[in-house]
Chain A
Amino acid sequence: MNAADLASSYDLVVVGGGPAGLAAAALAARAGVSTVLFDENPGLGGQIYRGIASTPVRDRAVLGADYWAGEALAAEATASGALIATGATVWSVDAARQVGVSIAGQARLIQAGRIILATGALERPFPVPGWTLPGVMTAGAAQTMLKAQGLVADGRTIIAGCGPLLWLLAAQMLRAGARIEAILDTAPRLNWLAALPHLPDFLLSPYWSKGLALLREVKARVPVIPVERLAAGGKDRLEEVVFTSRGKQHTEAADLLLLHHGVVPNVNLSIAAGLAHRWNDRQLCFEPVLDRDFGSSIPGIFVTGDGAGIAGGTAAAERGRIAAVAAVRGPRSDAPLPDPQIFRQRLQREETGRGFLDWLYRPAASFRQPDGETVVCRCEEVTARQVREAAAMGCEGPNQMKAFLRCGMGPCQGRLCGLTVTELIAAQRATTPREVGYYRLRPPVKPITLGELASLPIGEAERAAVER
């Protein structure tokens, strides 16, 4: 598909082809509204169902039933009548509901009646010494390579961190024939105390038995070592992992270190669009402020799925449907729509038990607020020491910090340093992330060339705005 094939407007634009976006687009298209779904990846599925239509890993036991549940979602969206555009990067959304999108190097501005942002989550930054070395990747990266390209880690692999996805990835890798030398478990022991009150709910949820089964499967084959600190070592690439377990230091040779400290909402597009956000202290991240239909502070723009707050893939699909009903009902109250109550009930079941996981796997402050020469902003190579010193000197917030140190001004637009910088400033100045806030972000949220911008059609209003 070319950018030229897009209409100039759609009743509904869905950004993101993961479970939330797929469910939303399918529902809206079946209700008869003109719907387009944009995803920047070559295929549908987002992260959790990555490669769902094309994975080389055909043995369904490897990736598991929860992964293959995405097949129906993708098929439903594709058959629904929605226009599905993969390889389509949305770089701008504004309050007038104009969507800037690029396909194969050609940019278009599309007017949307309603917008549903379903850009999902990204891995929480995990800054440790040496994390920028080649050979250090996120757990999600290894999972992506397994799902989308059928690539199996083949050297000395160590996984470090905590969170339910870590166990799922380890199980999938083992089933695919990878060997994992060790799992370095960073979950603080004391987390159990905060998690315990949530245990009854957790035992009622589907996560309980699935989680236990995964844990057993992995622990039977991989040593799990509790660690308080870890570092990646090597000259130009990873050669070893140095870690402290129960006060004693150990060194393990390694070719691949996979880091995981849970996932956080991907807020770059929603912040750049001007939506209000707030700090979630239980999940230690920023998320958009939403009503019960996932409507944001800007009328006509919804945020759904994990981008609305972390709740997992199955919850994301139900959230997508709830948002789609509200997004369609606004402009087209006559459209045949399902009653969202059934989705809300299913969603509530999916969200039960998340509290236990959030508290059990809450990363230690020492990892969220590093010190010394640990790189915090990977793009601009700003260290934790530099951020702490600037904060101590009087720098009050991340936007001021940009002027001091350039942190957050690299191509990733703060995706890998934002939370760390906010938490460091809060820690150093004895205040809270809620007070400190986050980077101010503006479009484009993904790189576009001057040629793409220049090729956008110029209307009379645009011309009148700049000509004298």
Chain B
Amino acid sequence: MFRRWSEKAARLAVKIDGRTIEARDGDTVAAAMLAAGIGHCRTTAVSGMPRAPYCLMGICFDCLVTIDGVGNRQGCLVPVRAGMEIETQAGKREAGQ
């Protein structure tokens, strides 16, 4: 759904739900996921419906993902780093997990 204007930026590898994805230096986590064609980045706490980033500027909170073990990070505000581990978030958080 999105292609790159320029191939000049350095490539780096991140993991999304254990799968290695090629991102670019300068991507945010949300942009990298959209560029990789990932369908959704979380399912909602209330009804489990799939959501993908909506505003890409830190307003909508639909881009919430777990990054390097810390949950509910706004993916659109976090720049990718090589080796970053990103997990999509499913439903509501259960106590103790």
Residues of chain A touching chain B, judged by Cβ–Cβ distance below 8 Å, are: 40-42, 47, 54, 56-58, 89, 105, 122-123, 132-138, 140-141, 144-146, 148-155, 176-177, 236-237, 255-256, 266, 378-381, 410-412, 415-416, 446-447, 449
Are A148 and B26 in touch, CB under 8 angstroms? yes
Given the known A-B contacts A56-B8, A154-B3, are A148 and B28 also in contact in the complex, defined by CB atoms under 8 Å?
yes
Given A237-B50, A411-B72, 15 more A-B residue pairs with CB atoms under 8 Å apart are A42-B28, A56-B4, A56-B6, A56-B8, A136-B54, A141-B53, A141-B56, A149-B28, A152-B2, A152-B3, A176-B5, A381-B49, A416-B59, A447-B72, A449-B70
Counting CB contacts under 8 A, is B77 at the interface? yes
Counting CB contacts under 8 A, is B91 at the interface? no
In the bound complex, residues from chain A placing their C-beta under 8 Å from that of B70 are 105, 449
Counting CB contacts under 8 A, is B12 at the interface? no
In the bound complex, residues from chain A placing their C-beta under 8 Å from that of B79 are 42
Are A40 and B52 in touch, CB under 8 angstroms? no
User: How far is B64's CA from A447's CA once the two chains are assembled, in angstroms?
Assistant: 11
In the bound complex, residues from chain B placing their C-beta under 8 Å from that of A152 are 2-5
Are B40 and A237 in touch, CB under 8 angstroms? yes
Are A153 and B77 in touch, CB under 8 angstroms? no
Are B61 and A410 in touch, CB under 8 angstroms? yes
Given the known A-B contacts A236-B39, A411-B72, are A255 and B55 also in contact in the complex, defined by CB atoms under 8 Å?
no
User: How far is B77's CA from A89's CA once the two chains are assembled, in angstroms?
Assistant: 10
Counting CB contacts under 8 A, is B21 at the interface? no
* Residue of B1, B35, B74, B77 touching A256 (CB-CB under 8 A): B1
B1-45 contacts to A (CB < 8 Å): 1-6, 8-9, 24, 26-28, 31, 34-35, 39-40, 44
In the bound complex, residues from chain A placing their C-beta under 8 Å from that of B47 are 381
* 6 residue pairs, one from A and one from B, having the closest CB atoms: A150-B5, A134-B52, A141-B56, A411-B61, A151-B2, A381-B46
Given the known A-B contacts A381-B46, A381-B47, are A236 and B40 also in contact in the complex, defined by CB atoms under 8 Å?
yes
Can you identify 25 A-B contacts, CB atoms within 8 angstroms?
Answer: A40-B58, A56-B4, A56-B5, A57-B5, A58-B6, A123-B59, A132-B49, A135-B1, A137-B55, A144-B57, A146-B5, A148-B26, A151-B2, A151-B31, A151-B35, A152-B4, A153-B1, A154-B2, A378-B62, A411-B61, A411-B64, A412-B59, A412-B61, A415-B59, A449-B70
In the bound complex, residues from chain A placing their C-beta under 8 Å from that of B59 are 122-123, 266, 412, 415-416
Counting CB contacts under 8 A, is B60 at the interface? yes
Given the known A-B contacts A47-B57, A141-B56, A144-B57, are A151 and B51 also in contact in the complex, defined by CB atoms under 8 Å?
no
Chain B contact patch, size range: 35 or more
User: How far is B56's CA from A447's CA once the two chains are assembled, in angstroms?
Assistant: 16
In the bound complex, residues from chain A placing their C-beta under 8 Å from that of B24 are 149
In the bound complex, residues from chain A placing their C-beta under 8 Å from that of B34 are 145, 151
Are A132 and B51 in touch, CB under 8 angstroms? yes
User: How far is B62's CA from A58's CA once the two chains are assembled, in angstroms?
Assistant: 30
Are B58 and A150 in touch, CB under 8 angstroms? no
Residues of chain B touching chain A, judged by Cβ–Cβ distance below 8 Å, are: 1-6, 8-9, 24, 26-28, 31, 34-35, 39-40, 44, 46-47, 49-62, 64, 70, 72, 74, 76-77, 79
Q: How far is the CB of B92 from chain A (nearest CB, A)?
A: 11
User: How far is B44's CA from A455's CA once the two chains are assembled, in angstroms?
Assistant: 31
User: How far is B61's CA from A135's CA once the two chains are assembled, in angstroms?
Assistant: 15
In the bound complex, residues from chain A placing their C-beta under 8 Å from that of B44 are 381
Are A137 and B53 in touch, CB under 8 angstroms? yes
Given the known A-B contacts A149-B26, A149-B31, are A134 and B51 also in contact in the complex, defined by CB atoms under 8 Å?
yes
Q: How far is the CB of B53 from chain A (nearest CB, A)?
A: 7
Residue of B nearest to A153 (CB): B2
User: How far is B61's CA from A122's CA once the two chains are assembled, in angstroms?
Assistant: 13
In the bound complex, residues from chain B placing their C-beta under 8 Å from that of A410 are 61
Are B56 and A380 in touch, CB under 8 angstroms? no
Given the known A-B contacts A42-B77, A151-B34, are A140 and B56 also in contact in the complex, defined by CB atoms under 8 Å?
yes
In the bound complex, residues from chain B placing their C-beta under 8 Å from that of A155 are 1
In the bound complex, residues from chain A placing their C-beta under 8 Å from that of B74 are 447
Given the known A-B contacts A150-B5, A151-B5, A153-B2, are A134 and B50 also in contact in the complex, defined by CB atoms under 8 Å?
yes
Are A135 and B5 in touch, CB under 8 angstroms? no
Are A137 and B58 in touch, CB under 8 angstroms? no
User: How far is B41's CA from A134's CA once the two chains are assembled, in angstroms?
Assistant: 9
Are A141 and B54 in touch, CB under 8 angstroms? yes
In the bound complex, residues from chain A placing their C-beta under 8 Å from that of B8 are 56
User: How far is B8's CA from A117's CA once the two chains are assembled, in angstroms?
Assistant: 36
Residue of A nearest to B32 (CB): A149
